Amino acid sequence: MYGRHEHDSCISDAMVAADDICKARGLRFTELRRHVLELVWENHGAVKAYDLLEKLDKDYSAKPPTVYRALEFLQENGLVHKINSLNAYVGCSHPLKHTDCFFLICSNCNEVQECCGSDVAKAVRNMVAGQGFAHNQTTLEIEGVCQECQLEG
Amino acid sequence: MYGRHEHDSCISDAMVAADDICKARGLRFTELRRHVLELVWENHGAVKAYDLLEKLDKDYSAKPPTVYRALEFLQENGLVHKINSLNAYVGCSHPLKHTDCFFLICSNCNEVQECCGSDVAKAVRNMVAGQGFAHNQTTLEIEGVCQECQLEG
DNA sequence: TTCAAATTGTTATATTATTACAAAAACAAG
DNA sequence: CTTGTTTTTGTAATAATATAACAATTTGAA
Ligand SMILES: [Zn+2]
Ligand SMILES: [Zn+2]
Ligand SMILES: [Zn+2]
Ligand SMILES: [Zn+2]
């Protein structure tokens, strides 16, 4: 039901981490925001805003701004990332040590794996510095087929 | 008017290259497709599809599918790239040797520079291979401020 | 209690992109 | 050239993604 691993703990871990972060930063982790984050974490794939909206709509009578505002809050605080190549959103798997991350997107099972702190980031920094470019934000999204799917395939 | 360099040659170079590529591959480089590519190349920034549409509309009575189809053709044949983080399109600056490219996007002057064949690509390949991931497509878009803008700033 | 700030609700609209089907143009074969 | 097929373009409708503007509510602090 939840993919390849015991996924319940992913959600609960993420929620605990989010709680801690919000508490530490004096942010209001409201019911709505919590609920949206839970929905984002229902699986390890990226979720579309309007799918979140539909799910939310059962409890709340949500309209687009509701979900986009929650996503904005979650993104600003590093709890969620937007995958630009999919126009979709994914929970951050390590919000406390998120730096120079990138994403491996399996086009077979749709899981998104977040990777971090690697030589890739170093290479990007070097290359960019060599060009005299002052970089703020890196979007690195790699589409392909994950190992599990290759083995199954 | 055209940014920092003598830009006319960029357009004409790109059109010649496009001509050659289409001829070599037996593709139909129609008036419409040619026109769209010219419009994309009017500057070195990324262009929105609906801005192209407006410009096109003066001559043709273009509707969205017209421009999206032309962009699709141009993308398939490596003459144009989509910048996912901007939902916008940019002319390929080296369509014949385009491999493992990435983009430096200046948020001040909006120019997009396409870089290619670097250590970054190598690092990506290594990292991804280390994860057992079979990658097809890499989206690497780096937002920041270009050197010229830093000097002027 | 009162006030200001932050959050949420609501309506409308903007932006980006695709589907479906009809017309026209280009091409290949006879 | 004519015919039939494929590719391209036109057109209308609609889907998918996202934001603006303003009102109502909740929250937390003074
Ligand atoms: Zn992260
Ligand atoms: Zn997979
Ligand atoms: Zn290119
Ligand atoms: Zn610049």
Residue numbers in B near A106 (CB within 8 A): 133
Q: Which of A66-75, A97-106, B133-142 has the lowest mean pLDDT?
A: A97-106
Residues A120, A73, single domain; the answer is no
Residues B134, B63, single domain; the answer is no
Q: CATH no. for residue A112?
A: 3.30.1490.190
> What is the C-alpha separation between B30 and B25, in angstroms, rounded?
14
Is residue B2 in some structural domain?
no
Residues B87, B104, single domain; the answer is no
Residues B75, B147, single domain; the answer is no
Closest-lying nucleotide for B30 based on CA to C1'? D8
- pLDDT at position B69: 98
Residues A86, A122, single domain; the answer is no
pLDDT band at A89 (very low <50, low <70, confident <90, very high): very high
Of B20, B56, B21, B26, which Cα lies nearest the Cα of B38?
B56
- pLDDT at position B43: 87
Torsion, Cα of B33, B36, B41, B46 (10° steps): -120
Residues B76, B123, single domain; the answer is no
Q: Which of A110-119, B84-93, B106-115 has the lowest mean pLDDT?
A: A110-119
Measured between CA atoms, how close is A37 to chain B, in angstroms?
22
Does B145 contact A132 at a Cβ distance shorter than 8 Å? no
Residues A74, A118, single domain; the answer is no
B43 pairs with which residues across the strands? Answer: none
Residues B19, B59, single domain; the answer is yes
Q: Which domain, by its residues, includes B133? A: 100-152
Residue numbers in B near A143 (CB within 8 A): 135-139
- pLDDT at position B1: 42
pLDDT at B2 over 90: no
Mean pLDDT of A122-144: 93
Residues B112, B144, single domain; the answer is yes
Residue numbers in A near B144 (CB within 8 A): 128, 133-137
Residues A58, A105, single domain; the answer is no
Residues B124, B73, single domain; the answer is no
State pLDDT tens for residues A24-62.
999 999 999 999 999 999 988 999 999 999 999 777 789
Q: Chain B interface, mutation test: which of A81, A108, A133, A152, most B Cβ atoms within 10 Å?
A: A133
Q: What percent of chain A has pLDDT over 90?
A: 75
User: Which residue among A91, A110, A127 closes a domain?
Assistant: A91
pLDDT at A116 over 90: no
- pLDDT at position B98: 85
pTM for the whole structure: 0.93
Residues B84, B144, single domain; the answer is no
d(CA A66, ligand 2 centre) in Å: 31
Number of domains in chain A: 2
Q: CATH no. for residue A56?
A: 1.10.10.10
Instruction: Show the 3-state SS of chain A.
Output: CCCCCCCHHHHHHHHHHHHHHHHHHCCCCCHHHHHHHHHHCCCCECECHHHHHHHHHCCCCCCHHHHHHHHHHHHHCCCEEEECCCCEEEECCCCCCCCCCEEEEECCCCEEEEECCCHHHHHHHHHHHHCCCEEEEEEEEEEEECHHHHHHC
State pLDDT tens for residues A1-21.
434 566 778 889 999 999 999
Pairs across A and B, CB distance < 8 A: 121
- pLDDT at position A2: 39
Does A143 contact B137 at a Cβ distance shorter than 8 Å? yes
If one compares B98 and B153, the residue with the highest pLDDT of the two is B98
User: Of the candidates B113, B115, B131, which has its C-beta nearest A104's C-beta?
Assistant: B131
- pLDDT at position A3: 47
